[in-house]
Structure formats: structure tokens, C-alpha cells
Amino acid sequence: MTHISVTVDGTTYEDEVEPRLLLVHYLRDRLGLTGTPIGCDTSNCGACTVELDGASVKSCTVLAVQADGGEVTTVQGLARDGEWTALQCAFHERHALQCGYCTPGMIMAARDLLRENPHPTSDEVRKGLEGNLCRCTGYQNIVRAVLAVAEGETAPAGQAASAREVTA
């Protein structure tokens, strides 16, 4: 067992883990943060994308021991005081999901994309999200949602609030 100290969504955890434990399993099985799903388990689909030390990573392709001393942000760490981020609101408003399985990874990858390129073209959004697969939407509304955030068309508060009531 190897000792790790890792900060996840603002909380620091000290744990003993097997070296072979994947970060995604640590998040889900040890910390109970099941907002990050496991999709393909082959580094392809991007559903498990989280942020490690400020950059998007596929958490099925990082060992928990590699995150030792690091800071992880999952989709569950985005909202502040119950308020969704603009990206989360945009995904809801633009119907950028159907089954929702890819959504946590899409949002984490899109965050990364917008940080590097705050005003992407539609092609740049598609290129930036090429590591994330969605089998429902055909990507159209995902791209629209990301572009809406880039263009500053964030959600009216009322709509976001009603969405939270539905999911609560």
C-alpha cells in the first residue's frame, strides 16, 4: 500500500491505496464521488475526464498514486453554493445531453478547451472535444452549448434554478 494525499473538489484526503488503483476507481469507490462515470475503460471515450492540477486528464488512465500531492476537480466540484457554472447551464439549456453519460467528461473537457481558447470556432470546439465520445446527440447541441458560453450567452438564473429543482 502507498500513502497518498490528494485534494478533491476542495477537500484533502489522506489514504493508503494499492499502487494499481486507478484514479477513477479512487474517486468513485473510495470517495463515493460517482459523478465521474467509467465509460470505455480504454482511454477512448473521455467520460471519466477530470481536472488534475489544472489540466484535463482521463481518470481511467491515471493511477491514484500519480495524483499524490495533486489537486483534482470533478464535475461535482464545479457548482458554487448550489449555483451551476455557465457551462453546466448551457448544457442544460441547449439540450446538450440525452442519456447524460458523457456529460461530466464533456463539461470537464469543454472547461479546459475554453480556458485555452476562450473564443473558439465551431471547428475548434469539435477538435478540442475529440477525446470525448457521445453516442446520443450527434454532438450538435454540445458544440452549441460550448459556443454559447464562449459568446457569453449564459443561462438566465430562473431557468437554471428550475432545472435544479427537477434534478434535486
Partner 1 sequence: MIPPAFDYARPTSLDEAVRTLAEAGEDAKVLAGGQSLLPLLRLRLAFPELVVDVGRIPGLRGVREDGDTLVIGALTTHHEVIQDPLVRRHAGLLAHATETVADPAVRHRGTLGGSLAHADPAGDLPAVVLALEAELVAVGPGGRRTIPAREFFADYLQSTLAPDELLVEIRVPKRDGWGFHYEKFHRVAQSWAMVGVAALVRRDDGHIAEARIALTNMGATPLRAPAAEEALTGAGDAAAVARAAQSAAEGTRPSRDASASPEYRAHLARVLTKRAVLAATGMG
Q: Which of 112, 154, 115, 148 is nearest to 132 (CA)?
A: 112
- Least distance in angstroms from the C-beta of 166 to partner 1: 30
Give Cβ neighbours of residue 130 (< 8 Å, ≥ 6 apart).
none
Rule CB under 8 A: is residue 24 a binding residue for partner 1? no
- Chain positions 41 to 80 lying near partner 1, rule: CB under 8 A, are 41-44, 46, 49, 55-58, 60-63, 65-66
Cα–Cα distance measured from residue 150 to residue 142, given in angstroms and rounded to the nearest whole number: 13
- Least distance in angstroms from the C-beta of 76 to partner 1: 18
- Least distance in angstroms from the C-beta of 104 to partner 1: 13
Burial class for 54, CB neighbours closer than 10 Å (0-12, 13-18, 19+): exposed
| Interface contacts to partner 1, rule CB under 8 A | 2, 18-20, 22, 25, 41-44, 46, 49, 55-58, 60-63, 65-66, 109, 112-113, 128, 130-132
